[in-house]
């Protein structure tokens, strides 16, 4: 298995590794097999591409959502080139995917399944129905809050109704 920039990833594994070298707690990425790093990088790309983005693709025939057209000008990025912000967001999303795989959050899984109450040996857990619905209705699949912050300039805040 391999990944191809522009087809199923924004950054190479080497670029992702270099970006993550500037962050703490990257053990789950560092210790993952190359195959799992590639799978996570592809999933991170799909998560980024699931966002509702402003503006249009730079080239309608490109496989991925980035690069974009007009927004590159005010972000000081080169038109037609995937910016470092997007690559860093992909690296952070890749790390978060591997972190969640290594340390699954059982409560989060229960919330998305709609479980409102669970009791085990005197311990009880109750979930707010509205919080569950908000989790289900998220606008995208991004897991990493840091990746979302980096991509904020590109994300459309709401749908316009015609």
The CA distance from 122 to 154, in Å, is 47
Instruction: Round to whole Å and give the CA distance between 40 and 100.
Output: 11
pLDDT in tens, 46-72: 999 999 998 889 999 999 999 988 766
User: Phi/psi class of residue 80: alpha, beta or left (left: φ > 0; alpha: ψ in -120 to 50)?
Assistant: left
Q: What parts of the chain have a pLDDT lower than 50?
A: 132, 136-137, 161-162
Give the pLDDT confidence score for residue 69 in this predicted structure: 84
Q: Tens digit of pLDDT for each residue in 76-86?
A: 678 888 999 99
Counting DSSP H helices and E strands in the chain, the numbers are 8, 2
- Whole-structure pTM over 0.75, yes or no? yes
The chain-wide mean pLDDT, for the chain, equals 83
H or E segment to which residue 125 belongs: strand 123-126
């Amino acid at each position: 298995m391999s990944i191809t920039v522009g087809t199923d990833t924004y950054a190479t594994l080497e670029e992702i590794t270099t970006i993550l070298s500037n962050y703490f707690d990257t053990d789950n990425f560092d210790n993952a097999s190359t195959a799992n790093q590639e799978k996570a990088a592809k999933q991170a790309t799909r998560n980024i591409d699931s966002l509702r983005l402003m503006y249009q693709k730079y080239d309608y025939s490109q496989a991925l959502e980035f690069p974009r057209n007009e927004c590159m000008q005010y972000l000081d990025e080169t038109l037609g080139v995937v910016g470092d912000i997007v690559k860093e967001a992909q690296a952070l999303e890749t790390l978060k995917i591997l972190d969640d795989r290594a340390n699954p959050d059982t409560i989060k899984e229960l919330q998305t399944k709609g479980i409102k109450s669970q009791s085990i040996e005197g311990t009880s857990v109750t979930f707010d129905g509205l919080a569950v619905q908000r989790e289900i209705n998220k606008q995208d699949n991004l897991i990493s809050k840091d990746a979302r912050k980096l991509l904020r300039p590109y994300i459309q805040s709401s749908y316009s109704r015609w």
